[in-house]
């Protein structure tokens, strides 16, 4: 069993154990997703969070190998009717939502409303996690340290005294969307220029954070409460460690 198949099995077993013999139940699994459309835009990372059809089909194939019947459900404006019509036993959710800072919660909220079990985090968790500034405020109440920051809605705001360099990122995006190779600025003039560009492009406030140099890790977690499994950390290794600023930018994610 490959890694993807094992992770998907574990996700499903969080809802109901999957039999491991030939008599296993045939689950009717709805696979919810948002698909890249290849839209023409001046914003290079417009569809950064959405998935390719190759990714969707890879997950579908693994679920089918586990004995599931898979229904592809694109999370567009017809999704409510699609869920009602298809009546999945379980939904394997990788959808990002269509708009707004709570968009990642759209599908989980609908599924809870309809009483359909699903994989992944619930709507409350996803709402909080996508809003970087809100996440930092909540973490601080638990004594967890995060870099100094300031939320900027436009350059008409008074720019506070900052310890440069700082990194600028859209407050409610994922997949390194809005984090370009010029996301780190070294003075107030550069900051004003980038805030003007980004607020116009992404139509949301920008999180301005003190740049912290150090190692970066990703840690995957599956499970609930006492059944939680924490996978070994994966470190993001930069090929050019001699560079002054190393960031996991959209360009890096897309091309390397």
Pairing mode, if any, of strands 229-230 and 221-222?
antiparallel
How high is the pLDDT of residue 242?
57
Q: Which residues of the chain have pLDDT under 70?
A: 1-25, 45-46, 240-243, 250, 252-253, 255-256
How high is the pLDDT of residue 151?
92
Q: pTM above the 0.85 mark?
A: no
**Coil, strand or helix: which one is 164?**
coil
Go through the chain and tell me how many residues it has. Answer: 256
The overall average pLDDT reported for the chain is 85
* Owner of token pair 């939320």: 151
**Contact present, 92 and 118 (Cβ < 8 Å):** yes
| Residue 74 burial by Cβ neighbours in a 10 Å radius (0-12, 13-18, 19+) | middle
Q: For residue range 107-134, what is the model confidence (pLDDT) as tens digits?
A: 999 999 999 999 999 999 999 999 999 9
Q: Which residues contact 185 (CB under 8 A, 6 or more apart)?
A: 164, 165, 166, 167, 168, 191, 194
């Amino acid at each position: 069993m490959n890694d993807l198949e094992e992770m998907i099995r574990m996700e499903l077993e969080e809802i109901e154990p999957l039999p491991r013999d030939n008599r296993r139940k045939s689950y009717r699994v709805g696979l919810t997703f948002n698909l890249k459309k290849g839209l023409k835009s001046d914003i290079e990372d417009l569809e950064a969070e959405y998935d390719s059809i190759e990714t969707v089909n890879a997950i579908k194939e693994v679920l089918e190998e586990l004995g599931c019947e898979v229904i592809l459900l694109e999370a567009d404006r017809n999704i409510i009717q699609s869920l009602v019509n298809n009546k999945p036993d379980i939904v394997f959710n990788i959808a990002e939502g269509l708009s707004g800072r709570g968009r990642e919660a759209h599908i989980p909220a609908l599924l809870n409303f309809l009483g359909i079990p699903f994989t992944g985090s619930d709507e409350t968790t996803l709402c909080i996690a996508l809003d970087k500034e809100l996440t930092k405020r909540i973490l601080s109440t638990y004594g967890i340290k995060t870099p100094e920051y300031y939320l900027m809605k436009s350059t008409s705001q008074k720019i506070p005294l900052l310890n440069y360099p700082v990194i600028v990122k859209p407050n409610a995006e994922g997949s390194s969307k809005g984090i370009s190779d010029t996301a780190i600025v070294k003075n107030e003039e550069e900051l004003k220029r980038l805030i003007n560009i980004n607020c116009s492009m992404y139509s949301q406030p920008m999180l301005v954070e003190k740049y912290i140099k150090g190692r970066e890790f990703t840690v995957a977690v599956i499970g609930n409460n006492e059944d939680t499994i924490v996978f070994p950390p994966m470190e993001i290794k930069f090929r050019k460690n001699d560079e002054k600023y190393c960031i996991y930018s959209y360009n890096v994610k897309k091309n390397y």
